[in-house]
Chains A and B, each alone.
Chain A
Amino acid sequence: MIPAKIVHFLDRANVGHIGTRDRHLVPHGHTMCGWALAPDGQTLTIMVPEGGREHLIESLEDNGQVAITIEEYPAHEAYQFKGQYVRHRPATQEDAEIAKHIRDNFMTAVLPIAGQVAVHALRSFVQSPVLAVDVDVREVYVQTPGPGAGARLVPGEA
């Protein structure tokens, strides 16, 4: 079960990325444009734009291993979620609304740094989803830079 602190973080975070690996243990990175935690508190649905599809489903169907980094930029608060692929489906309008929320978070956080000249480019950085992938989250790690980085939050350290 993902703790409340992380649930709140997921609502304000603004950047995410997916890592998988293929049958030859070659890692692949995939762009991500949204995320939503299911009511069970353990299934994370991640939204993937067209540019993130390459190698994604074939790797997930081969071995199911997935790692997801979600960050609040520019504060650098970040967590890594590791888990197992459950299923995927085409993205819906509801998924597109979630991506819009992430895009709004990103614009609000980054625009003061980047300046108005970058509005168009910043808005385009978070693309609309074409796929939604359900992941059963088994572990959560701190990735915020500093001495606590790497600590495991879920399951808690014994």
Chain B
Amino acid sequence: MSARLPNEIRPVLDNGIPAIMVTCSADGVPNTTVISQVYYVDDTHVALSFQFFSKTIRNVRENPRAHVTVNDIRGLTKWLLELEFEHSETEGPIFDAMDMQIEAIASMTGMTGIFKLRAADIYRVISVGKQSYPPHA
């Protein structure tokens, strides 16, 4: 079963604020990491950038479930996405678009030469949660 991404999340995915991803190994050890990009593929899929051979990449290939938090700081909102890894793409329009975005993010954040897209990992959206928080007094 898939959940649909609402249109209002699309500008949040493009806001340039890093997201947080949590995965879990097959033997039950969670892993958290900061990710620079959550790319909208269609209303039931997102793509996450695979830049380094990391624990996150190993985890989703042995246990496909993932949790991503996307921040809308100006909107006082967090979006909580439950995802399932489907497949990886190393060429094609999604890969090319993400590669261009990664280069732009790297240039803006002083990470040119460090951020490099190896693959676009495609995830199915299992659930979408919107969590608003109160303004700080």
Contact = CB atoms under 8 A, between A and B. Distances in A.
Interface string B9-28: 00000000010111110101
Contacts of A145: 51-52, 111, 114-115
A67 B22 contact: yes
Interface stretch (A6-14, A36-44, A73-81, A86-94): A73-81
Given A27-B22, A29-B20, A74-B109, A146 B114 contact: yes
Contacts of B51: 145
A26 B73 contact: no
B55 interface: yes
B30 A80 contact: no
Nearest to A70: B32
Interface in A19-34: 19-21, 25-29, 31
A63 interface: yes
Interface residues of A, number: 45
Contact of A121 (B63, B68, B73, B114): B73
B115 A17 contact: no
Interface residues of B, number: 41
A17 B76 contact: no
A150 interface: yes
A26 B67 CA distance: 8
Contacts of B73: 114, 118, 121-122, 125
26 contacts: A17-B32, A17-B69, A21-B22, A21-B24, A21-B28, A28-B67, A29-B20, A29-B68, A31-B78, A50-B133, A63-B28, A67-B31, A71-B34, A73-B18, A80-B32, A80-B33, A82-B31, A114-B73, A121-B74, A121-B75, A121-B76, A124-B133, A124-B134, A127-B133, A143-B34, A149-B52
Interface of A: 17-21, 25-29, 31, 49-51, 63, 65-69, 71, 73-74, 76, 78, 80, 82, 103, 114, 118, 120-128, 141, 143, 145-146, 149-150
Kindly list the 8 A-B residue pairs having the minimum CB-CB distance in the complex, ordered from nearest: A19-B22, A19-B32, A19-B30, A124-B136, A27-B22, A69-B32, A21-B24, A17-B20
